[in-house]
Structures are given as structure tokens and as C-alpha cells.
Structure 1
Amino acid sequence: MNRLAQEKKVCALIPARLNSVRFPGKALKQIDGIPMVVRVLAAARNSGVFDAVYAATDSPEIAAVCQTYGFEAVFTSHSHQNPTSRIQEAVTILEDSKSASSRKFDFYAMIGGDEPLLTPEILQNFMEQALTVITSKENVQRPFLINAMADIPNDAETADPSNIKVVCRPDGTGLYISRAPIPFRKGTLDEPSRKFVSIGLYTRESLDFFCQSRPGILEQIEGVDLLRFLEYGKTILFLPICGYTLSVDTPADLETVQAILHRRTSTL
């Protein structure tokens, strides 16, 4: 990590709501006796790259569980339809608080509360890459935000609409994001599809822009909030992560994650 990046303060925010549409209560589902959202909070804290780590939630129950494990929570509105607007509200609350002078950050990392396979090493590697990029470029060349991506290892994950796929230029600049299997496999080039991974590096400007702009047509069709930035011509840089992860969107995903974590533990 370059010297300028090391001097920047970064706050990690983990959005978590109790009433998930596809899998209610998933944030508090136990994985080897530890609630899923707590696993993500612990990975963020143990990565050593964040100056502060918070859950962003509208649930007193989630907040209480986080506090039991030694993590702080920021209460946000019940009205949010996506994690980006929830994070923006949490940032506003933090910066407007009485102790705002001690809570000023240069960047904000959004980490999905449903990504329990994320490890401190994955987060550390991504953040070192992202901070180096965003602090080394001039303003006109700087990406508006940076997000993680990963190769999709099998056809089942490619076909699953819960796995959001991304296509990029060779330098990682995002071209499109979809729940559909993209790019379509008409040719024979043996290139893996790539999926969105819920680790993003934002500025206050990028978060405010999201909440001050209207949802675009593609965002509404796909149900993918990150498309708002692309529809308005903002640059998203996608960086590959150094390990495997899977977002938990269904009870079947939870079983898969539990099996993977059991295998990881048994090989230590």
C-alpha cells in the first residue's frame, strides 16, 4: 500500500436488516454458533485495515446481538430499499454526531452482511489494492467507486439470478451488471464469468450522489442498485478478490457456506 493510502482513514459499514425478503432473519442465522453478521464484522475488524467498523441496521435485535459481541451499530431507517442508501444514512449519522470530529473518514467500505466466507485476508488484499488505486490517480482519472468481483466457478452459480454478474473492460472498468448469465456463451473463448462481491470502497461524494439521484430504468429492471452509477455515466472499477466467497440469499446457500467453513476448519 502506498504511503498516501496508509494515511487515509477508512470506516467499514456492514448493512444488515432482519426482514430480508428472500431469507427473513438471515443476518442472525447461526454458523457454528456465531451469527452471520457477526462473522462479517469480525472479519472486517481482524483485517486490520479499517479505522472503525459498524453494523448499519434498522433492527434493535441485530444491534443488540452486535453489541453482545463487542461491535457498534448505527440505527438507520426501515424505508431503505437497498444497502447503498442505508450506508449513506449511516455515514450521515456518524458525521453529524456530537463526536463527529473523531468520526471523520476519507473513505467508506461497504461489506455485505450476508458474505460470511469473507476472510480478513480477502478484505485486506482488496482494500490495499483499492486504496492504492484511488489515492494514486488524479481526480479526473479516479474511479467514482471501487468494487470487488470474483470468478464464478461453476454453471449453477452463473445461472443463479441471486449471483450478480459483471462484465468489464480489460482494465476492470465496469461495463454492465446483471442477474442474467453475461456475457452470453456463443463463442468458444474459455473465459470465466465474473460475479459481484459485496465489498465496495466509496467516498462521501459517491454515496451522496446515489441518494440524490433517481433510480434508472436498468436499475429498476434488474433490481441492482449499483447500476445507478453506470446509468449516470459514473466509473466503477472492479478488482478481483484473492479467495472464494458466496452471498447467502437462501437457506440452501447457508447450508453450502456451513459445509465450506467446516472443510476449512478441518484442514487447519
Structure 2
Amino acid sequence: MEAIGIIPARYGSTRFEGKVLADLMGKPVIQHVYEMAKKAKTLDDLIIATDDERIYKCVEGFGGKAVLTSIDQPTGTDRLTEVVNPIDVKIIVNVQGDEPLVHYTMIDELVRTMLEDDSINMATAIKRVEDKDEIMDPNIVKAVIDKQGFALYFSRSPIPFERGAQSKNFYKHLGIYAYTKDFLFTFTNLPKSDLEGIECLEQLRALENGYKIKAVETRYNTIGIDTPEDLEKARELLLKREEAKK
């Protein structure tokens, strides 16, 4: 297989326990994610990876494909490695289980970017910031990109800082990643880096160790469900998306 999608999903959350099972317009959040990702044309398979029986049974209930992983995996990325280890595949896409607005086109954009350039080991999605309030929001991760489209840095702080001139473009990072299988295992075997610990951003582990991350610009937006208020925002955005189709 050339590419598969893995959706790590856990029940525990400090701010919103069970968020992936929360009802959103008649469906659990995780079902929205799965059904949208399933539309991606570049994926040969799509699997939800969870360590929780409640999520596993929910996925079975709506006809999705899920596997139970070890409860000892520290991160969603580690859960990916457990699932893909026995699978013969070139590219793995990590789709966040708590982002019901993820669009399948974002997945296809990442996979095609990697298939077109064998030198790319890791890619992620970025979007131009349209709401200036997001620049100062530490929950919105900002990205600075070089001339070749690779990430220079990711931060919860407003970057670049506007001192000498105003930036024409601010980018925010969207939490979807693609890796080659080989690099996924290289990445998870790297020790947690200093910058990763400071910013609480796992992707900085790659940059701090000298690896490049291709940043693929998309026109689609996502929202992570971290609080009940986020669930309401997602509902409003989904309604707008449905209205736009009419």
C-alpha cells in the first residue's frame, strides 16, 4: 500500500473527558472525523487506533475500522507506530481524532506532496491566518516557513514578531501530519527535545534534531475539540459548511 490514515483516539482528557464520543449534530466527534477522512482519494486504508473499549465499540457501531492499542503508549504518534509496524506501507497520515472539521482534501494534499518528492520524510498542513485574534492565542500554533516551503519553527507565541515591518502573512499550523514509515519510527525513537517540552509541541522534536518538515498550505480550516465551548464552535462551522453546499 502507498498510504494509510491512522486516527489516534483516546478517552481521557484533562479539559474534556470523552470528547471524541461527544455528540455533534447527531454523531460522535470521532465519526465526523472518520467519515470525512474516508473520502480521501489517496488513502488505501483508514484505521482508528484507541486504547479504550468505549471508543472501539462506538467505531464498530457506525461501521468504522478500529484497533485496540496498548494503554502504555505516551502519545498518539507512539500509538501510530504500534498499528503500522506490521503493515507494508510507504506513507502514514496522522489524522487527529478530535478535529471533526478536517477535510479530506487536506489529506490528499499531504500524500500527493510526499509521493511527488521522495526526499520529504514528514509533512504537515498550514493555513493563512484570517482572524488577527488568532495570532495572540496560545492555543493556535503559528508557523514560520522558508522560501522552499519547509517549516523554520512552530510556536504558541506570535511569530514572526512585527518590529521592523508588518508581516503580510501569518500562518497557523493544522494538526495533521504525514510521515514515511521509516521516518515515523526514527521520529518516535528520538528523545523528547528541549523546545518540544517548552512549547508542548511534538513536531519541534524533528526540527531540533535537524529534520525538515514540509509545510503544505491549504484553504481548509479545522478546530480541535478541547472544551465544550469548542464543540459549539464546531457545530456552528459545520452548519456554515452545510449551508455553503446548498
**By how many angstroms is 1:190 displaced?**
4.0
Shift of 1:145: 0.7
Higher mean C-alpha displacement, 199-208 vs 78-87: 78-87
Corresponding residue pairs, total:
245
**CA separation of 1:150 and 1:68: change in aligned 2, threshold 3 A:** same
Which of 180, 184, 193 in structure 2 is aligned with 1:207? Answer: 184
Task: Supply the distance in 2 between the matched residues of 1:25 and 1:192 (Cα, whole angstroms).
Answer: 36
2:133 is the alignment partner of 1:156: yes
Q: Quick one: distance in 1 between partners of 2:164 and 2:234?
A: 33
CA–CA separation in structure 1 for the residues paired with 2:199 and 2:206: 14
Match of 1:236 among 199, 202, 213: 213
Task: After superposition, give the CA deviation of every residue in 1:31-89 in whole Å (9 maximum; x if it has no partner).
Answer: 11111111111111112221110011111111111111111112223233332222112
Matched to 1:265, the amino acid is E
Cα distance in 1 for residues equivalent to 2:114 and 2:168: 24
Q: CA deviation at 1:229?
A: 0.6
Superposition deviation, residue 90 in structure 1: 1.9
In the TM superposition, residue 232 of structure 1 has moved relative to its aligned partner by 0.7
Please give the TM-score of this superposition, normalised by the length of structure 2: 0.92
Query: Which runs of structure 2 are paired with 1:140-219 in the superposition (5 Å)?
Result: 142-219=119-196
Show the counterpart of 2:89: 105
The reply to whether residue 57 of structure 1 matches residue 50 of structure 2 is yes
AA matched with 1:215: K
Residues 1:36 and 2:29 are matched in the alignment: yes
Query: How far off its partner does 1:175 sit?
Result: 1.0
CA drift of 1:110 comes to: 0.6
Q: Which runs of 5+ in 1 are unaligned?
A: 1-7, 96-102, 135-141
Sequence identity percentage: 31
Query: Cα RMSD over matched residues?
Result: 1.7
Q: TM-score, normalised to structure 1's length?
A: 0.85
For residues 110-156 of structure 1, give each alpha carbon's deviation from its aligned partner in whole angstroms, at most 9, with x where no partner exists.
1111221122233333433332233xxxxxxx123111111122132
Q: Does 1:89 align with 2:78?
A: no
In 2: Cα distance, 1:167 partner to 1:53 partner: 30
Counterpart code for 2:11: L
Q: Which residue is equivalent to 1:15?
A: 8
Match for 1:182: what amino acid? Answer: I
Q: 1:175 to 1:86 in 2, by over 3 A?
A: same
Look up the SS of the partner of 1:207 in the other structure.
helix
Structure with the higher fraction of residues in helix conformation: 1
